[in-house]
Structure 1
Amino acid sequence: VRPVRLGQHVYRLTICRGDTGYLKTFFTSQLGAWDSRARAELDKVRSKAEVERELPSLLVLHGFADEPKLLACAARVGCVSSSTLRDGLKRLRNELAFTFKTAVTEDDPKLRSVLATGFKDLVAETIAARAAGDLRSQRWEHMLARLQERSGLSGRALFKPLRFALTGRLQGHDLRELVNLLELCEAGAPWNAEFVPLDHRISTLSDWLASQHDDL
């Protein structure tokens, strides 16, 4: 199932395998219009509450998802500091991007400070927490307690490197809610090179950690 634009309207396109084994394509519903008026609405100034309320329908129109809990969570992430729907879409994309592989090589003094303070050990513990089933939004407090105990880090000294490991950034949205959004996205949103699920992020961390050991 994916959206497709025909003229100035967007439809939900469904592809399935028929009784004969051949693929069948058909339109199941019209999602909405995407014309000059709709595009102009992207830049209309709105309150944070209005952005949060209207962003879900725009996400459906653009094929992000159509699952209510996922859309609501995505809207909560996108509406922060956003005064237009375009801002909301941009913020959501930025928050869901995973830039660790390139960011970890940058010569940024703040980043170097984070990497020099037990970062490799924290990455190893984060990977272990995922394997144990603790790196989930519903187990968030338990996971933090585990990381605090095993790394000796707490507060910002823990959250900043943990955020960098999971997102590739030192600042951003509430990390627990981002993990929740990634969990919801597992079943309801497309992935690309920048927009990747949690397990792929952990795999990237594992590869990076192995490369650090190889350099010793």
Structure 2
Amino acid sequence: MIPSTQSPAQLAQHQLAYQHIHQQQQQQLQQQLQSFWANQYQEIEQTTDFKNHSLPLARIKKIMKADEDVRMISAEAPVIFARACEMFILELTLRSWNHTEENKRRTLQKNDIAAAITRTDIFDFLVDIVPREDLKDEVLASIPRAGGLPGPAEPAVPYYYMQPPQVNAVGGMSVGRPVVDQALYGQPPRPYMAPQMWPHQQEEEQQQPPSDS
């Protein structure tokens, strides 16, 4: 009679194989993130064209003015925001695509974005805008089915902000560099603390009034 369940030795072997594959996927994501941010940092240092942007500055300025406390907006601020939004979209796409490949698909879906958000502590502010069914699907996907192999808890790839030697940027502001730390990989993620990216502008600095153009 053929046994309906695998032996403990077989289960242990399959569990080790699963953990090995899972570890490889996380290491691959870590390497991709390191390469991504290295390229982004290099592009920022080499940027000379501040007039052409991938995202519309008028729309960004309109969103900024939605805050009633914002009285004046300097000309440089929307430019920096446009670049920051572009990098945010690129990184979220990279993390989402990693989930797509884990499921052996070639089409990025909204549940991949939901997975990237739930796996990354720094994106926890987006949880409220992700459809609940997608979050539910992501949670259920991490629960082994009957007879399946329980997988290890999903380790978050550490993400934090490190201030390198100051680099002159637009308006004399310094540019920081987000990095992935090898020593922190696999450890419980630390609480995210937003960096102070914008130095206080001097009172005598002239600012341009906000406009819709």
Shorter chain as denominator, the TM-score bin is under 0.3
Normalising to structure 2: TM-score of the pair?
0.27
Higher helix share: 1
Structure showing greater relative contact order (alpha-carbon pairs closer than 8 Å, 6 or more residues apart): 2
Normalising to structure 1: TM-score of the pair?
0.27
